[in-house]
Chains A and B, each alone.
Chain A
């Protein structure tokens, strides 16, 4: 009496309560096991790259806000650094330190959200997520204080940052940085020995180091598999070479390791912010550049470390005010390429948890 089962097709998304955005997974399932996984993207395509060809470089900065909408500061920073390298613009010291502070703040906010949504994907009814949102709310308050927006900040400019933070920013930042390590310890304790969480995440979605490198993974997904590669140390930009911090590397490449890498990177970000606060000089917060900057003809590929991985900008300039070609290398899209192999022969719940651990943002996948 063999029960012959027929595989059937299950569509997950594009409207889905899992907080990953409009993203469609077409899963061929046999019972509770996945036989094949197909990702269909494009539901959030806004033709950013084409529209960028009509706008000046400064006008393109809001696009990067909306590409990776959970890490707007690093997106802005990536484009600003790319154009500065292309056009040879100098950035004042104070602006560099401000950039570092805001990038690290954004990293904390983004990792808190990524970890929180991972746990709520595992079913914890958003309680840990909302605990992590406590800190994220304070960070977003800081952003609002400085540039007026919480999410799509549009803060970096070519040659510096848009505004100098107001006077009330610094005490608030100091307070936050002082209490953050204790809070992170709280979350750490809550989750590290929770058996249900361990049972859901250990040994699930294992990526071996060879697979990770072959699939061009970057960011915490790569570091979770044991490869020590972080662009802030490997290819330093801004003033990261003056900062003293460690790079967190996991051991076995499962979901738990990626989760712990993000959790530990929170501590490192706090360390960097503290150093930046103590080292920041006074001065100008941006250099004056012409309204429509015309870089020389040429092309450049420049990359920085966003919370999701390596975000790269390929710019081709033809001497005019707008780029001839603007391409964003989205880390989420490249990180996703392994999902097919990871999902094979796994249960659906495990595939969902693995997807959560890869930390994708559909805005930058589709641009």
Chain B
């Protein structure tokens, strides 16, 4: 038999000879592997050295941590202040230079992710679906997103007849603005955030409400019923899920006592606890509501591919559609960054941030949350619109509000009485978790008491054929 020597058909031969990504990466030319590993080890050693210098206090003054770019900014602005230039130029430069450099930083983070993100997501989705993702364009398919972007850029822009000119061109840009603006208050390191607003939390909520209008304009201006239907669905979903986001962030503000994002991260690092351990329901509500805000599965009814093609961006072609897809991706990591900052401790990791730069820790957390998003996308089918709305209004909002009241009571106790923090935080966590679990069960039971969510009946096996009479006999 030849079956035990070689697989029989060409396709099964191809499958048998396929090697995993790791195998192929390790099969690269030795020279490249050596260079890469030397670079990696060197990087790690440098970080540890600097960390040692920091921890042993040998780097005093402003340069206590050279890996925090915020320190470089502070030195730069001090140098400008001390120089003998006209005071107007000095004040302009002290605002302008950090602003420009920070903006470049944010754009490069988002832009870099838009280059690698689609590749990572598609390969990860493929891994879930027992297939390979893009692996032909460039080594390991890394140039796939670039190829897609170039392809989209050179496509013909087809403007539907009757489309509103002004309202058609604005949405791709307008929907990108919140995706970039939201990065402003996020702290990457103790001194490194673009605009550490005192009202950072309110800024985040305000920015997330700006996306709604762009979606509507896109759907309306396309002069197409599909698009309008998709846009209306999306808008209804987005404005409904803004409320659980706000209530969850309110719980965060109550516990940490500040709306400034860097102070929230500092609170988590000082108390030695992540907010997801203290208010888990708020964290999960924030995560779920954010998937609704950014139109990702399981809440992407607005662009349900199998039903209404692409929803509100059906009529967009070329880079305009590309911008919409890019924004979905950009929003996903923005939500990852926000989730990490609010609930997962931001750039801190129980003291590790003195050894490893904070932005690396934050980047890892963003990657983890993004992996969670892709995992959910690969696994769950999408919810129907009325199911989504029911879930938001009947379950998420009431339960979030009740648990937020509970958090308010707990935080005022924490402030008023000086209980040792370990005890009080443990108590808070315990009370919150039990309250969340208990309330969820009770509420679900009350809400769905007429729904039959029991296991469905298994089909009947029979050997007698027949028509209606036989059917009646079978059913008993």
Contact = CB atoms under 8 A, between A and B. Distances in A.
Do A and B interact directly, with beta carbons closer than 8 Å? yes
Interface of A: 8-10, 12, 16-18, 32, 119-127, 130-131, 134, 137-138, 141, 144-145, 166-169, 171-172, 192-200, 202, 209-210, 213, 225-230, 233-234, 246-252, 256-257, 260-261, 264, 347-350, 352
B309 A17 contact: yes
B386 A347 contact: yes
Contacts of B301: 349
17 contacts: A9-B225, A10-B229, A123-B382, A124-B379, A127-B129, A127-B379, A141-B11, A166-B8, A169-B8, A172-B3, A209-B468, A227-B471, A229-B465, A230-B465, A248-B460, A257-B459, A349-B385
B11 A137 contact: yes
A130 B131 contact: yes
Interface residues of B, number: 56
Contacts of B378: 125, 127
Interface of B: 1-3, 8-9, 11-12, 125, 128-131, 225-226, 229, 297-298, 300-301, 304-309, 377-387, 452-453, 455-468, 470-471, 474-475
Contacts of A197: 381
Contacts of B460: 248-251
Contacts, number: 159
B381 A168 contact: no
Contact of B306 (A169, A225, A250, A352): A352
Contacts of A9: 225
Nearest to B12: A141
A260 B459 contact: yes
Contacts of B1: 167-168, 171
Given A121-B306, A123-B306, A168-B1, A10 B462 contact: no
A120 B474 contact: no
Nearest to A233: B465
A194 to B, nearest CB: 8
A348 B12 CA distance: 40
Contact of B385 (A32, A200, A234, A260): A32
Interface centre among A166, A172, A228 (most CB of B within 10 A): A228
Contact of A167 (B2, B125, B385): B2
Contacts of A16: 309
Contacts of A171: 1, 3
A17 B8 contact: no
Contacts of A122: 381-382
B293 to A, nearest CB: 18
Given A17-B306, A123-B381, A171-B1, A247 B467 contact: no
A151 B475 CA distance: 38
Given A123-B297, A126-B129, A131-B130, A251 B459 contact: yes
A198 B306 contact: no
Interface centre among B130, B307, B462, B475 (most CB of A within 10 A): B307
Nearest to B4: A171
Contact of B470 (A127, A138, A227): A227
Nearest to A225: B471
Contacts of B386: 32, 347
B306 A131 contact: no
Given A119-B381, A226-B474, A228-B465, A168 B459 contact: no
B461 A196 contact: no
Nearest to A352: B307
Nearest to A235: B465
B455 A192 contact: yes
A249 B459 contact: yes
A168 B8 contact: yes
Contacts of B9: 141, 144-145
A127 B128 contact: yes
A124 B384 contact: no
B114 to A, nearest CB: 21
In the A-B complex, the 7 residue pairs with the smallest Cβ-Cβ separation, listed nearest first, are: A123-B382, A124-B381, A246-B461, A234-B465, A130-B129, A123-B381, A226-B471
Contacts of B453: 195, 198
Contacts of A250: 459-460
B471 A198 contact: no
A256 B456 contact: yes
A129 to B, nearest CB: 8
A229 B307 CA distance: 33
A11 to B, nearest CB: 9
Nearest to B457: A251
A247 B465 contact: yes
Contacts of B300: 123
Contacts of B125: 125
A289 B415 CA distance: 96
B236 to A, nearest CB: 11
B55 to A, nearest CB: 46
Interface centre among B306, B307, B308 (most CB of A within 10 A): B306
Given A125-B125, A145-B8, A199-B384, 18 more contacts: A12-B307, A18-B306, A18-B307, A120-B306, A194-B381, A198-B456, A202-B456, A228-B462, A228-B470, A229-B466, A230-B465, A247-B461, A247-B462, A248-B459, A249-B461, A261-B459, A349-B301, A349-B307
Interface centre among A12, A137, A202, A249 (most CB of B within 10 A): A249
A309 B306 CA distance: 25
Contacts of A233: 463, 465
B305 A17 contact: yes
Contacts of B128: 127
Nearest to B454: A198
Contacts of A352: 306-307
Contacts of A138: 12
A228 B464 contact: yes
Contacts of B463: 233, 246-247
A247 B407 CA distance: 57
Contacts of A121: 306
A188 to B, nearest CB: 10
A366 B468 CA distance: 30
B239 to A, nearest CB: 17
Contacts of B8: 141, 145, 166, 168-169, 172
A192 B453 CA distance: 12
B375 to A, nearest CB: 11
A17 B314 CA distance: 12
A10 B225 CA distance: 7
B467 A193 contact: no
